[in-house]
Amino acid sequence: MRVVGLLGGTFNPIHLGHLRLAEELANALNFDEVRFIPSANPPHKPVPSVTAKHRAEMVALAIQNNAKFKLDTTELQRAGASYTIDTLKSLREELGENTSLCLIMGSDAFVKLDTWHEWETLINYCNIILVQRPQPQKTPLNTILQAFLGDHYTENNDDLVNNPAGFITMQAITALDISSTNIRNDLSAQKSTRYLMPDNVLNYISQHQLYQLQDSSAL
């Protein structure tokens, strides 16, 4: 059984929180690879200020030195809203039944899972790994999601590694309090964002003048 971690996100821009998350889970669950899947048209967010092509390019730069990390552009090739269920269906077709697909989600994403398109079907196509991320206020899980979690929950990582889909687990990670929102705010206020992202991503942002970064010398 191959084990493939899936990290979907807007990556607007990618930061060290994403990379540490992927690295720690890759080690904990012995992933053969981690796919970073930029969302072209995130259904639950305003249209991103930076194009999907730029966001994917920054992901490519950020992961270039890690042999297990791959950029997956599936969602960039599809028109319309980027629904995770469609991505999982196409990944399942590509990778076959002998692959455990492990969808990685921060707690902030999981508390809204029941608003996702065909959300109850997701678990037929993947396992889910939940991680805590630092949040000012934690939103409690509603009863529907509590029941869903209870139906699929396991504390045994072998369940995820040995099954293509169907299980949910929680993993402790080093919580890095970094978010793309804060990075975008700092960039547009011309504040330093060094050491929150790899340098090559920072250089890319500066070169392409993304996020209204006017004066790169201010970095």
> Using CB under 6 A as the criterion, which residues of the chain lie in contact with ligand ATP when the complex forms?
9-12, 17-18, 21, 105-106, 108-109, 131, 133, 176, 178-181
The span from the CA of 160 to the CA of 48, in Å, is: 33
In the complex with ligand ATP, the residue whose CB is nearer, 3 or 129, is 129
Minimum Å distance from CB 9 to ligand ATP? 3
Tell me whether residue 179 or residue 200 sits nearer to ligand ATP (CB atom): 179
Of the candidates 172, 148, 164, which has an alpha carbon nearest to the alpha carbon of residue 6? 164
CB of 138 to ligand ATP, least distance (A): 13
Tallying the residues shown for the chain, one arrives at 219
Smallest distance from the beta carbon of 150 to ligand ATP, in angstroms? 21
Least distance between ligand ATP and beta carbon 130 (Å): 9
Nearer to ligand ATP, 179 or 206 (CB): 179
Q: Give the phi and the psi of residue 153 in degrees, each rounded to 5.
A: -70, 140
Cα 137 to its chain centre, rounded Å, is 21
Q: Who contacts 188 (Cβ-Cβ below 8 Å, separation ≥6)?
A: 211, 212, 213
Q: Which residue is nearest to ligand ATP (CB)?
A: 106
Query: Could you check whether the bond before residue 38 is cis, i.e. omega within 30 degrees of 0?
Result: no
CA-angle at 4, arms to 73 and 119, nearest 5°: 75
Residue 181 or 188 with smaller CB distance to ligand ATP: 181
Q: Is 97 left (phi over 0), alpha (psi -120 to 50) or beta?
A: alpha
- Closest CB to ligand ATP among residues 3, 22: 22
H-assigned helices in the chain: 16-28, 52-62, 84-95, 107-110, 122-125, 143-152, 157-162, 180-188, 199-207
Q: Which is nearer to ligand ATP, 5 or 17 (CB)?
A: 17
Cβ of residue 178: shortest distance to ligand ATP, in angstroms? 5
Paired strand residues for 127 = 102
Minimum distance, C-beta of residue 97 to ligand ATP, in the bound complex (Å): 25
Name the residue type at position 97: E
